Amino acid sequence: MRQTNQTQVTEFFLLGLSDNPHTQQLLFILFLGVYLVTVLGNVLLLTLVQVDSLLHTPMYFFLCNLSLADLCFSTNIVPQALVHLLSRKKVISFARCAAQLLFFLILGGTQCALLAVMSYDRYVAICNPLHYPTIMTWKVCVQLAAGSWASGILVSVVDATFTLRLPYRGSNSIAHFFCEAPALLILATTDAQTSEMAIFFVGVVILLIPVSLILVSYGHIIVTVVRMKSAAGRLKAFSTCGSHLTVVILFYGSAIVTYMTPKSSKEQKKLVSVFYTMVTPMLNPLIYSLRNKDVKGALRKMTTRNLPCRLGVCHWQ
């Protein structure tokens, strides 16, 4: 699977996680199960928010955006990985590789921004509860969600441009199971230092700035909760924030290892990539469901009686 030095490659060979047939079969079964749970969990969460009026609040509006991003994020990568686990020829065209990279960056950047927005929502709800309805209006929520998706698109355009503008005329074997910028840059036939620095800088912006905002928000939340006189109020506040904080740690921890630690080994980065492309999108709806009384209540109502299908938008003042 080599191209001549004079010719731009037209396809890439994905080396995947293992070349052992038995291991590939086991990985196929594992990844298929994870993907099915991801799809079912996120679709169920989206459906619950739609049909239960108690969930028509800003927090669940942002959660729906996160679930949609998770669902698309996983679908962009896992189906192809499953096909390649059962194929001898693990090839992806340059155009499909570029498209996968583009959507991967859009959805990943959007998730980063959404998690920061959700922490701000919890900050307002706990630290300024009396002003919450006037601050988190429908218009503000739509603007914050749209801004999150726009930031993902901006990150994608910058990173994809610096990655795909390089010439690829040598080896076309990607030491990964999908097209990711760090794995592609290794194959560039010219010095990729400028592109690596640009991608690192964008990684600082899209990872560390939201993390800083999250830390500031939760710093204020912790101070406010500690000052609460009611034990029940403190428990409710920590319960509400616990799910979000768990998701933040899982997502940002794995993303920072991949994009902010260049000295990490290829195998380590591949394993971390499996975590944030497959495991995290599966865990998110489970975490929010298992730790959230409102979601569990909506699920109980759905399973105990036939709810009318109502497709509409959330309304709040």
Give strand pairing partners of 92. Answer: 12
Confidence of residue 27 (pLDDT cuts 50, 70, 90): very high
pLDDT at position 272 is: 81
Confidence of residue 250 (pLDDT cuts 50, 70, 90): confident
pLDDT at position 235 is: 72
CA pair distance 79, 277, nearest whole angstrom: 12
Q: Is 197 exposed, middle or buried (0-12, 13-18, 19+ CB in 10 A)?
A: exposed
CA pair distance 255, 253, nearest whole angstrom: 6
pLDDT at position 80 is: 93
Determine what percent of the chain is predicted with pLDDT higher than 90.
35
pLDDT at position 258 is: 67
Indicate whether 307 pLDDT > 50. no
Give strand pairing partners of 173. Answer: 13
Indicate whether 20 pLDDT > 90. no
Indicate whether 257 pLDDT > 80. no
pLDDT at position 317 is: 41
Instruction: Work out whether strand 11-14 and strand 173-174 pair parallel, antiparallel, or are unpaired.
Output: parallel
* 147 CB-near residues (< 8 Å, 6+ apart): 113, 117
Core vs surface per residue 97-134: b (16+ CB within 10 A) or e: bbebbbbbbbbbbbbbbbbbbbbbbbbbbbbeeeeeee
pLDDT at position 240 is: 67
pLDDT, average across residues 245-271: 72
Indicate whether 296 pLDDT > 80. no
**For residues 66 and 116, is the Cβ–Cβ distance under 8 A?**
no
Determine what percent of the chain is predicted with pLDDT higher than 70.
89
* 115 CB-near residues (< 8 Å, 6+ apart): 66, 210, 214, 244, 247, 248, 251, 252
Report residue 10: phi and psi, to 5°: -110, -10
